[in-house]
Every structure is written in C-alpha cells, then in structure tokens.
Amino acid sequence: MTYDTAFRMLTPIDEEAPRRAVRLRELGIGEEPDPEFDEFAAKIAAAAQAPCATVNIIGPGRQYFAGLYPSSAARGLDWRDDPFREMACDRGFCLHVVARRRAMALPSVMDYARFAVNPVVDEAGVRAYLGAPLIEPADLILGTICCVDTEPHPSWDRDAVEWIRGKAAELTRRILQRGAGAPAAS
C-alpha cells in the first residue's frame, strides 16, 4: 500500500521547546553525544531486537540524538560529521510522542496512513517504531527514547509500550540524579 505524500499530516507544534532547552542546560545536557546515552541506546536496541535506538533531545528547530546506537564511534565517524546525529523536527515520530505525552508503538508503520507518509519511511526505510517521552516530575518532557527498525515488529505491542515507558522513567531518573550536581543555567 502506498500513500500520497501530498496528504502528509503536519508535524505537531512543540510549545515546550524553549522551556525544555533552558531545563536541559540546567541539567548539563548539551547538543553533543553523551557516552552514557549512547550506552543506554545500545542496551534498549539489544533488548528490543532493533538495529537502531536513540536518546533524542528535541529542540525548537531540530532533533538531536545525544544517545545513538550504533554510535558515531562504532561506525568510524567523528560525531560532528555524523549525519545521523540530528534530524529536522518534521522527520520521524518522536515529536508525535512529545505531543501525545505518551509512549507509542508502531509495529508496522505502513499500517498507519498518518505515519506511513513521514519522510523517514522513504529516506531511511523505517518500518517500525517504539518510543516514549522522558518526563520529569514537574511534567516537562526532556526528550524521548526510541527504537526503530527497517522491518515490521509485531512484538512491539502493549507489553513493549509498558517496557519502553519503564526504560524512559529509568533514564529520566538517571538524568535528574546526574543533573542534581550540575550548576544551574544563567
């Protein structure tokens, strides 16, 4: 089944992006790879049996993968030259997770007209997505985590949504614990 990209749904508006940027600076998270996030992405990719996973920091104009599996280094690239470290906000599905404020599974992206026309379907061959927001206790979304595959994943169901939600909560706790010692942004 194919869908006409002229009927592509608009990317949700992310009104929290400016507030998120300030909070991330307070937590000491910038727009550069974080080895702990790369390691976390590798672990969730292995557990979800996915060839790719990210810890995604969503800004006002782009998404930045502070955690990426496979990492830039694993692919023999300097992170500054890695085209997979960032992506426009109208690409992918994480901004939809942010707008919904809930975890989401697309076991077969092509089964959902709204998502089948997303540019990553043709540009990167994405056929399955599993993601969850990183929500701090003050209800601000810091980013997302996700796993993607170029093959459908029928096992990415309600249980998988609960699992990725738990992983997002785990990483959020780690970020907040780590950030407790970071100086506040000025």
In the CATH hierarchy, which fold is given to the domain comprising 13-176? Beta-Lactamase (3.30.450)
- Give the other-Cβ count within 10 Å of 32's Cβ: 10
Q: For the chain, what percent of residues have pLDDT higher than 90?
A: 65
Asked whether residue 2 carries a pLDDT value surpassing 50, the answer given is no
pTM for this model (two decimals): 0.88
29 with 57: CB under 8 angstroms?
yes
Find tokens 């890695």 and name the residue. Answer: 82
Asked whether residue 108 carries a pLDDT value surpassing 60, the answer given is yes
**Distant-in-sequence, close-in-space partners of 141: CB < 8 Å, separation ≥ 6:** 16, 20, 98, 101, 133, 134, 135
Residue type, 147: C
- In 105-154, alpha helices (H): 113-116, 119-124
pLDDT of residue 96: 92
Mean pLDDT, rounded, for 38-44:
97
The residue among 14 and 69 whose pLDDT is bigger is 69
Residue extents of the structural domains in the chain: 13-176
